[in-house]
């Protein structure tokens, strides 16, 4: 079996491959003429690659090994929490009482799901929460990049994360994946992640990271629904108690 980091690398390279897709290109055209990229832009983009493109996905994959996909999907709502709290604490974004109430609700819902699974669930929640902090910083740093188009940011993040992921995987285990597995991973990254990342970056630069992330937060519910319907994972009372708090 190929290592998790090899799979991550192929997915991330697939993201980079989608750079020339129509949706990413249309976003770039709409942005128009941009100011020249600065050293601060380069530093922010590098941090986004290391935390959002490498550390975050690896932590998420370890979390998936500890818990069901449906729970992990719902825990990804913590990315919105991390983005909002980091924005309020360090990036001068406003978070009102309703926002803090939402943060408390998502954290409580995550704890309900984790507690029902015992220690493995709490460990998985910790891994996913750490991944979400990485993505929260990624969201803010990427939103502050002014001299790079969304599609170019996607290319840089995809190539950087893909190269690092493949390098780690190659060092950890020999490459034994079939050509069809590699092609499937590349296609998944290109079709399912690349365009959405470019559009999310454009939204974050236009609206701010917290507002853009509040819309993007619907994705975990779609992932959970697919895990229940396609993977046949059980839908228990803990999900019934947690879902209203996540929403």
Q: How many Cβ atoms are within 10 Å of 122's Cβ, its own excluded? A: 15
DSSP letters of 64-108? Answer: HHHS-HHHHHHHTTHHHHHHHHHHHHHS-----HHHHHHHHHHHH
pLDDT band of 11, cuts 50, 70, 90: very low
pLDDT digits (tens, 9 = 90+) for 101-151: 888 988 998 898 888 888 888 999 999 999 999 999 998 998 888 877 777
Q: How many Cβ atoms are within 10 Å of 93's Cβ, its own excluded? A: 19
Structure tokens at 97: 């009482």
Output the pTM of the full model: 0.74
Using CA atoms, how far apart are residues 85 and 133, in angstroms rounded to an integer?
A: 10
Q: Which of 30-44, 123-137, 223-237 has the highest mean pLDDT?
A: 123-137
- Measured on CA atoms in the order 28, 159, 58, 228, is the torsion positive or negative? positive
pLDDT band of 213, cuts 50, 70, 90: low
Give the pLDDT score at 130: 96
Give the pLDDT score at 34: 55
Phi-psi region of 141 (alpha: psi -120 to 50; beta: other; left: phi over 0): alpha
Residue 143's Cα: distance from chain center in Å? 15
- Reply yes or no on whether the pLDDT at 89 is more than 60: yes
């Amino acid at each position: 079996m190929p290592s998790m980091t090899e799979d991550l690398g192929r997915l991330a390279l697939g993201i980079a491959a989608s750079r020339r897709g129509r949706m990413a290109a249309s976003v770039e055209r709409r942005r128009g003429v941009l100011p020249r990229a600065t050293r601060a832009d380069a530093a922010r983009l590098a941090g986004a690659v290391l935390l959002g493109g490498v550390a975050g996905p690896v932590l998420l994959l370890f979390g998936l090994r500890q818990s069901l996909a449906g729970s992990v999907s719902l825990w990804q709502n913590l990315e919105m929490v991390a983005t909002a709290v980091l924005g309020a604490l360090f990036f001068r974004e406003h978070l009102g009482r309703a926002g803090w109430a939402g943060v408390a609700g998502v954290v409580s819902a995550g704890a309900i799901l984790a507690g029902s699974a015992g220690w493995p669930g709490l460990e998985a929640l910790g891994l996913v929460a750490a991944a979400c902090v990485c993505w929260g910083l990624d969201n803010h740093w990427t939103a502050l990049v002014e001299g790079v188009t969304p599609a170019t940011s996607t290319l840089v993040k995809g190539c950087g994360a893909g190269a690092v992921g493949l390098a780690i995987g190659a060092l950890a285990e020999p490459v034994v994946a079939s050509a069809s597995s590699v092609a499937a991973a590349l296609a998944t990254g290109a079709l399912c992640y690349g365009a959405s990342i470019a559009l999310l970056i454009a939204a974050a630069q236009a609206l701010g990271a917290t507002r853009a992330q509040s819309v993007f937060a619907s994705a975990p519910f779609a992932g959970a629904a697919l895990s229940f319907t396609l993977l046949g994972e059980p839908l228990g009372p803990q999900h019934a108690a947690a879902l209203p708090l996540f929403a």
